[in-house]
């Protein structure tokens, strides 16, 4: 549903672009003025689309976390996680193809929306999936050094690594105020997650820190690389880009099934232990995945980090009502810091 709504936005934008083309045909004396109006309309449409995809990502990420809490409360994972991941990738692929089919019917097949591609274009698509695979493998080893709540706290290093790699690889600049905001976002998120056992993370051995930093860099690199892929060909239809991204995701997850859960799948079946909540989680993950792609194409990694941070806070607030969770003073303080960070990020926009 969210996805179709966003799609509608994208169509709105095309309409605006056409309007501008029409305006350009007018006499020269007023064309400058009209072009400005046109540009501001494009800007507004772009801003609107950026806002909608960001909102969608926030809501989906937040409900994703709520589903995880819900499923944990309902009992242990009975299904094999690798099959679920494979289905998420398959579903994303299928959605991309369905939307693409509709576009072909209305617009015809063009250079920008054809599925066939060159080796030069496709060669980069497996890289993000490969990076995530390495990161997920490392995840098993880090628990030798850090406990699960400690790992949650160390994961906030992702925020900093994303910012640094965004600067280095995409060569995009943040103003000093925006850097300050980014540091605050990291500190605020960590503060919001503090609990009585958090101090244990300070006793993390050196190897644990190194692994946490390597994982943060891998995760940040995968995100930044995805953005680079999506933006390298701005006119290329996002559904084609998604298709190629997700087809490699499917392939990597198929390998993961073979390595980790081959016996379970053979003996108990592919869908063993699936419940309504498992289906909801797969659906949610697929939609969030598409929302992430859209944020990468129409916004950027910085927006993604802010969006998922807000989702984390939102999850906690919703959990108070759903599961009777208790909010700590640290949570309130972290929320204040994150809110100020969001304000500063927009207030600190560089003058271009």
**Where does this chain touch its own copies (CB under 8 A) — which range of 8-16, 162-170, 196-204, 225-233?**
196-204
Place of tokens 């969770």: 325
d(CA 230, CA 236): 8
Query: By CB under 8 A, what part of segment 333-352 binds its own copies?
Result: 333-334, 336-337, 340, 343-344, 347-348
Q: Which is nearer to its own copies, 90 or 319 (CB)?
A: 319
Q: How far apart are CA 95 and CA 204, in angstroms?
A: 42
**Does residue 194 bind its own copies (CB under 8 A)?**
yes
Q: What is the DSSP letter of 349?
A: P
Q: What residues from 198 to 217 belong to the interface with its own copies (CB under 8 A)?
A: 198-199, 201-202
Nearer to its own copies, 79 or 151 (CB): 151
Least distance between its own copies and beta carbon 348 (Å)? 8
HSE, CB side, 13 Å, CA atoms: give it for residue 339: 8
Cβ(230)–Cβ(351) below 8 Å: no
d(CA 37, CA 233) in angstroms, rounded, equals 27
Q: Does 12 bind its own copies (CB under 8 A)?
A: no
Alpha helices in 27-156 (DSSP H): 28-74, 81-107, 119-122, 126-142, 148-154
CB 51 to its own copies: min, Å: 22
- Annotate each residue in 145-164 with x if it binds its own copies (CB under 8 A) or - if it does not, as one string: --------x-----------
Q: Which helix (H) or strand (E) holds 10?
A: helix 2-24
51 near its own copies (CB under 8 A): no
Nearer to its own copies, 180 or 283 (CB): 180
Task: For 222-234, give the secondary structure using H, E and C.
Answer: HHHHHHHHHHHCC
**Per-residue interface string for the shown chain with its own copies, residues 99-138, x marking contact by CB under 8 A:** ----------------------------------------
Minimum CB–partner distance for residue 160 and its own copies (Å): 11
**Whole-angstrom Cα distance, residue 339 to residue 263?**
48
Q: What is the DSSP letter of 273?
A: T
Helix-, strand-, coil-residue percentages of the chain, each rounded to 5: 80, 0, 20
Nearer to its own copies, 204 or 226 (CB): 204
Q: Nearest distance from residue 29's CB to its own copies, in Å? A: 37
Please pick, from the candidates 130, 164, 187, 264, the single residue that binds its own copies as defined by CB under 8 A.
187
- In the complex, the residues that contact its own copies under the rule CB under 8 A are 153, 176-177, 180, 183-184, 187-188, 190-191, 194, 196, 198-199, 201-202, 328-330, 333-334, 336-337, 340, 343-344, 347-348
């Amino acid at each position: 549903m969210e996805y179709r709504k966003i799609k509608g936005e994208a169509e709105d934008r095309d309409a605006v672009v056409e309007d501008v083309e029409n305006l350009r045909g007018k006499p020269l004396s007023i064309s400058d003025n009209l072009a400005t109006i046109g540009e501001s309309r494009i800007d507004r449409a772009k801003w609107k689309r950026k806002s909608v995809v960001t909102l969608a990502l926030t809501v989906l990420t937040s409900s994703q976390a709520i589903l995880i809490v819900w499923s944990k409360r309902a009992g242990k994972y009975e299904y094999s996680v690798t099959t679920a991941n494979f289905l998420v990738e398959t579903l994303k692929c299928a959605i991309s193809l369905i939307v693409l089919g509709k576009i072909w019917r209305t617009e015809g097949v063009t250079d920008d929306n054809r599925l066939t591609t060159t080796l030069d274009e496709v060669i980069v698509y497996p890289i993000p999936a490969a990076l995530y695979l390495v990161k997920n493998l490392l995840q098993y080893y880090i628990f030798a050094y850090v406990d699960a709540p400690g790992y949650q706290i160390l994961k906030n290093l992702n925020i900093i690594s994303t910012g640094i790699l965004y600067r280095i690889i995409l060569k995009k600049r943040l103003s000093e105020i925006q850097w300050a905001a980014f540091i605050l976002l990291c500190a605020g998120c960590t503060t919001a997650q503090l609990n009585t056992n958090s101090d244990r993370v300070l006793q993390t051995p050196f190897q644990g820190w190194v692994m946490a930093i390597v994982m943060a860099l891998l995760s940040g690199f995968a995100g930044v690389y995805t953005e680079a892929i999506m933006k390298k060909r701005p006119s290329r239809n996002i559904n084609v880009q998604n298709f190629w991204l997700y087809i490699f995701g499917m392939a990597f997850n198929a390998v993961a099934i073979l390595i980790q859960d081959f016996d379970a799948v053979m003996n108990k079946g592919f869908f063993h232990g699936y419940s309504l909540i498992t289906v909801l989680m797969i659906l949610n993950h697929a939609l969030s995945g598409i929302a992430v792609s859209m944020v990468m194409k129409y916004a950027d990694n910085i927006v993604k980090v802010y969006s998922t941070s807000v989702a984390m806070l939102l999850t906690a607030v919703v959990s108070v009502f759903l599961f009777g969770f208790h909010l700590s003073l640290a949570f309130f303080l972290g929320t204040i810091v994150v809110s100020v960070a969001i304000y500063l990020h927009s207030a600190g926009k560089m003058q271009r």
